[in-house]
Amino acid sequence: MLDLSTPQNVNQTLKRAFNRGLVLDALRPGPASRLAIHRRTRIRLTTVGELVDEMLGANLLTECGSLPRGEGERGRPELLVGLNLDGPYALGVSMDRERLRAGRVNLAGEMLASHELAVAAPDQPSRVVQQIAEAVAAVLPGGAEPLYRCLGLGLSVPGILDTDAGRVIQATAFRSLDEGAPLVQRVREATRIEHVVIGNVANAHLSAERLYGAAAGVKDAVLVLLEPGQIGAAILADGRPLRGAMEASAELGHFKIEPGGPLCACGGRGCLETFIGWSYLRRELIDRGRCDLAEANAEGGLNEFWSSPKAAVASLRDGALQRIGRAVGNLVNLTRPTLVLLSGSLAAHSDAVVIPLKRQIAREAMRPFAERLEVKASALGPHAGVLGGASLVLQQVFAIPQVAAV
């Protein structure tokens, strides 16, 4: 229980929480002795000892043997402690209109179990919640108390959210999810997991990249989430994720890039996302005399569009990549990052997507920014979305409290 009854107690509590975050963060690269933690964090050695004992008791840390002593060295060997990788775990769920994925993740970001379901009825919230509970149940550890050591469940949702209320404000892929009781409350009831949090899918990906990927230690970055027919972004500015008045991605897909262009699902016209949607691409293929390719359904057609080497498709894809590159270039000019991370399933297409898009971004961003910019694909792989959901919980474990200046 936090004792915030006096200013001295507030100071002590904040200092302890701050130091606890520093110790956990110092152990993310691997086990270390108390002395090494003291050197890395500059926290007093006696305080490190107290914090480590406290976290060993809470099962967050584990003893990992001792440093081998050099020849002729005397005294007690230095005992090593590390993050307890068999102990506390976080659950993550990522969802899009087609698939729902769940995973169980340890403190090092390793996927211990994963499960995937086809979304049965995206417009029926009760069915969606039921499927979330099914997917979560499939990744829980066996035994009498599967939720023992569960730190919580993070839901990575494509949409605009009220994270404080645990509510969806608008999710075009799940049209009725904004109705009725808040999503977090429903999932809590269906899974019996007390700590449930939600975050926008692009922000969740960025959170995973900060904890376990290429954005670790980076202060200014843009993550571009590329899925067939969908594009979003998340911004890290001066070491903090950029949040507006609502939890959403930086809505890159709704950058207006052509006045009077095609009608978008958001109600606007000429949004970037309309130019990578199947109805637009299908029409273009028909206009180019490629009715054979246009006969696919939306999912199959979009997959073909992003990977096919056929010339008609490749030239259409070049047009889409030019538009995406222009939008990302504008975002780079606006936020001046040192890193643009390409994430999502399309980032796995190196030749068809990543390499040409890098070229486009370099062309569109202002030269001084482009020269200092690294653009690369995420290395977190196909589990990045689930890891993103889990990292919404894990980031709270590793959080170093930010104290606003007054």
Cβ atoms < 10 Å from Cβ of 360 = 20
Residue position matching structure tokens 């007390």:
194
What are the Cα distances from residue 68, in Å, to 27, 34, 78, 80, 211? 19, 15, 8, 10, 30
Among residues 121, 323, 301, the alpha carbon closest in space to that of 231 is found at: 323
Q: How far is the CB of 253 from Zn ion (least distance, A)?
A: 7
Q: Is the Cβ of residue 255 or residue 369 nearer to Zn ion in the bound state?
A: 255
Q: How far is the CB of 172 from Zn ion (least distance, A)?
A: 9
Q: Is the Cβ of residue 141 or residue 270 nearer to Zn ion in the bound state?
A: 270
Cβ atoms 163, 197 nearer than 8 A: yes
What are the Cα distances from residue 216, in Å, to 64, 127, 182, 220? 25, 37, 32, 11
The DSSP output letter for 208 is H
Q: Is the Cβ of residue 208 or residue 264 nearer to Zn ion in the bound state?
A: 264
Please give the full DSSP string across 262-321, using - where no structure is assigned.
Answer: PBPTTS-BSBGGGGGSHHHHHHHHHHTT-HHHHTS-HHHHHHHHHH---HHHHHHHHHHH
Cβ atoms 161, 169 nearer than 8 A: yes
Q: How far is the CB of 294 from Zn ion (least distance, A)?
A: 23
Q: How far is the CB of 270 from Zn ion (least distance, A)?
A: 8
Q: Could you give the angle at the alpha carbon of 206 between the alpha carbons of 205 and 211, nearest 5°?
A: 100
Q: How far is the CB of 396 from Zn ion (least distance, A)?
A: 32
Q: Report the alpha-carbon distance of residue 271 to residue 283 in Å, rounded.
A: 17
Q: Is the Cβ of residue 271 or residue 331 nearer to Zn ion in the bound state?
A: 271
Q: How far is the CB of 273 from Zn ion (least distance, A)?
A: 6
Q: Is the Cβ of residue 200 or residue 395 nearer to Zn ion in the bound state?
A: 200
Among residues 235, 241, 243, 247, the alpha carbon closest in space to that of 198 is found at: 247
Q: Is the Cβ of residue 107 or residue 264 nearer to Zn ion in the bound state?
A: 264
Q: How far is the CB of 254 from Zn ion (least distance, A)?
A: 4
Q: How far is the CB of 320 from Zn ion (least distance, A)?
A: 15
The DSSP output letter for 352 is I
Q: Is the Cβ of residue 18 or residue 280 nearer to Zn ion in the bound state?
A: 280
Q: Residues 51, 53, 58, 60: what is their CA dihedral angle, to the nearest 10 degrees?
A: 70
Q: How far is the CB of 246 from Zn ion (least distance, A)?
A: 16
Q: Is the Cβ of residue 121 or residue 246 nearer to Zn ion in the bound state?
A: 246
Among residues 111, 87, 337, the alpha carbon closest in space to that of 206 is found at: 337
Q: Is the Cβ of residue 57 or residue 267 nearer to Zn ion in the bound state?
A: 267
Q: Which residues bind Zn ion (CB under 5 A)?
A: 254, 264, 266, 268, 271
* Half-sphere exposure in the Cβ direction for 402 (13 Å, CA): 5
Q: Could you give the angle at the alpha carbon of 322 between the alpha carbons of 320 and 332, nearest 5°?
A: 120
Q: Can you say whether residue 239 is alpha, beta or left, with left for phi > 0 and alpha for psi between -120 and 50 degrees?
A: left
Q: Is the Cβ of residue 195 or residue 269 nearer to Zn ion in the bound state?
A: 269
Q: Report the alpha-carbon distance of residue 302 to residue 33 in Å, rounded.
A: 52
Q: How far is the CB of 232 from Zn ion (least distance, A)?
A: 12
